[in-house]
Amino acid sequence: MLQTINRIGGLLWINLANTVRMQEKSRTDRLLDPPSLLEWLRDNELPDSVRELPLEQLRKELTALRELCDRVLEDLARHGKLSEPTYDALQVRAEKLIVGVKLTMTGEGPDLEYTGRSGSEALSLLVLRSIADTLRTVPAERIRKCEHEDCILRFADISKGGRRRWCSMETCGNRHKAAEFYAKKKQQAEG
């Protein structure tokens, strides 16, 4: 699987929430930077109908959807489940969707494919689908924030043991190990 910071969350909606991240100790919104926004869409394999939307519209839609994702994350962290107001907000979005159905042929036979009628609907549908699937199948305690104090990235821990601590071992895991190592050395030198 493609390993990029744009997919560290492991799920589309968490990857969207992760478009706000720490860069040199300050919060940065990656959607404000057009090349980063397009890279995010590509890395998350969004369909052409979404990628072809005008940039301004895309940013607006993604930002609005991201607010919903943040609310879900906050609910999970605080209460371990969805709160009623967040449920209602998701419901409002879901009820507005106009979905088209297409019959497609797969290797195993025909299948029905659901997609938004427009690029913007396709995007909403994908994000809502990702949130609903997660809430149904992934325990709340498996949705976590990276333990590094300077990092705000979240991820779904789908490892067997459920002991993932870092958004990425290569970055935060190693930064932590290095900090621990130097702290120990300093202690030894002082002691």
- What is the binding site for Zn ion (CB under 5 A)? 146, 148, 151, 153, 167, 172
Nearer to Zn ion, 38 or 169 (CB): 169
Nearer to Zn ion, 8 or 46 (CB): 8
C-alpha–C-alpha distance, residues 2 and 168, integer Å = 13
Nearer to Zn ion, 125 or 143 (CB): 143
Closest distance between Zn ion and the C-beta of residue 43, in Å? 17
Nearer to Zn ion, 129 or 142 (CB): 142
Nearer to Zn ion, 88 or 170 (CB): 170
Closest distance between Zn ion and the C-beta of residue 82, in Å? 25
Six token digits for residue 8: 């560290």
Calculate the dihedral angle through the C-alpha atoms of 146, 74, 39, 150, rounding to the nearest 10 degrees. -30
Sign of CA dihedral 177, 178, 180, 181: positive
List of long-range contacts for 129-138, beta carbons under 8 Å, 24+ apart: 130/11, 130/12, 130/13, 131/13, 131/68, 131/69, 131/72, 131/90, 132/90, 134/11, 134/13, 134/14, 135/72, 135/82, 138/11
Closest distance between Zn ion and the C-beta of residue 106, in Å? 38
Closest distance between Zn ion and the C-beta of residue 29, in Å? 17
Closest distance between Zn ion and the C-beta of residue 151, in Å? 3
Count of beta carbons in the 10 Å neighbourhood of residue 42: 13
C-alpha–C-alpha distance, residues 115 and 107, integer Å = 20
